[in-house]
Structure 1
């Protein structure tokens, strides 16, 4: 009799675990686009500075600031080397999300297609729900929006 009772308990535990896995997968599958960005928007505070004021003057609402995205890099099955990507703000304008990077004098932006690709494409790929990447040049009080578009290879 103990053997049958053990099987019933094992079956009940496996059923419960299977139900939990299916439910989590279904929740992930039906998660609305942009929910990752909304979670990110709630994560950080915003320090009022000239850059935030410039963005507000242009119609952006700054949701959060100073984000760090941890990444790991592995070369030929070696140890994982940690690195990170940073962006300065997450903003919204007309119900569209934008990542905001500040252009700093020690690391000026190269305003060519290849320079922008090398510097910003990783952000566009990590956050495909974003409408674009806003670059704020605080010294000149300029704001530019960069969008990537996949074109036909013809």
Structure 2
């Protein structure tokens, strides 16, 4: 009789685990677009500085600041090497999200198409729900970068 009771407990536990996995998958599958951005918006605080004031002057609502995205890189099946991507702010304007990066003196922005692609495309791919990437240039101008996939030659 003990063995029969053990099997029932095991089957009930397995059924609960299968139900839980199915619910998590279903919730992930039906997650609305932009939910990653909304989670980021709730994650970080905003310190009042001149960049935030500049963004607010241009009608951006600064939702959060100073984000770090952790990544792992594996080379030739070796150990995972940790690295990070940084962006300065997450902003909202006209019902659209924007990532904000500040141009740094140590790493000036190359304003050519290939320079922008090399530097910013990874952010557009990580956050496809963003309308664009706003760059705060040294001269306190805001420049918006958007990537558009064009039809290739066949």
For the aligned pair, the TM-score class normalised by the smaller chain equals over 0.9
TM-score (norm 1): 0.97
Structure 1 residue 95, shift from structure 2 partner: 1.0
Q: Structure 2: how far apart are the matches of 1:111 and 1:49?
A: 25
Q: Structure 1: how far apart are the matches of 2:105 and 2:19?
A: 54
Partner of 2:109: 109
Unaligned runs of 5+ in 1: none
Q: Structure 1: how far apart are the matches of 2:128 and 2:146?
A: 11
Instruction: Map residues 14-29 of structure 1 onto 2, 5 A cutoff.
Output: 14-29=14-29
Q: Could you say what secondary structure the match of 2:64 adopts?
A: strand
Structure 1 residue 113, shift from structure 2 partner: 0.6
The CA deviation string for residues 5-52 of structure 1, in whole angstroms up to 9 with x for no partner, is: 111111100000000000011111111111110010011111111111
TM-score (norm 2): 0.97
Q: Structure 1: how far apart are the matches of 2:73 and 2:3?
A: 49
Unaligned runs of 5+ in 2: none
CA RMSD, Structure 1 to Structure 2 (Å): 0.7
Partner of 1:151: 150
Partner of 2:96: 96
